[in-house]
Amino acid sequence: MGSKTLIHRKRIEAAIELLGDAIEQNWNREKIKEEMKKLYEKEEISPLRGLALPPDILDKELTTLYVVGKFGMGLTDEELGGAFDFEKKLEEAARIIMEAPPDARDRIRELIGPVDSNALARIFRIYFTATVLGFVDENDFIKLIRNALKVFPDMEKTIRKYARFYVAFRTAEAIAKGEIKNKIEKEAFKQSLALRLGLEKIIPDDNYVYIIAREVFKVPDNVLRKTLKVKEVA
């Protein structure tokens, strides 16, 4: 397992275990979420998340299982089964955005219905997850974000919000991996990643990074205080 995936090893191993049981026993979507909740609680794994913990977070976290199965294990759509039909459509929608043909919006609407901010975030989550787990190059995610501005120019606010989340998440991850050791390195990392994404005004504040680092990566508070300027967080 490569260095990029070591920090996510427990998450990937949990996904492989859940996928094996789901495929063997032909679990439906609700059963997978039920078992995922149990396993995540047992292994103290947090869903991939930002500031909020929305009520549909387990449904969104099914993307992790799909990505591990499809990108990591090389499972076919048929092998993954019907429980992941929605994620298959989300991946296809992401590929359409990356190609950005003139009829992209119509094709995506045919796949998943009307695209609101939540639907667009679900599309982004496919390549976000594949990127942070180390299965695809970050340039694919960057291309998806940039092309989304061409396909959905009216949803610029949602796209910038997701890009800001990505910068916060990767910064928190870098702190957890020990790649960022002080506040100067942290600021340089955020600025550099925002520049690569190519969008203005997407640099998250340190409180955003702090919550992800604490909740998702379980980084001790004393480590976070060395790298982040944070106000009091409950």
Cα 124 from chain centroid (whole Å): 7
Domain boundaries, the chain: 3-151, 165-234
- Cα–Cα distances (Å) from 181 to 9, 127, 212, 222, in that order, read 22, 28, 17, 12
pLDDT means per 10 residues, the chain with 234 residues, are: 69 96 96 97 94 91 98 95 96 97 96 95 98 96 97 96 97 96 96 94 95 95 92 61
Give the whole-angstrom CA distance, residue 65 versus residue 14.
9
pTM more than 0.85:
yes
Residue type at 162 in one-letter notation: Y
93-96's contacts with Cβ under 8 Å and 24+ in sequence apart are 93/123, 94/123, 94/124, 94/126, 94/127, 94/144, 96/151
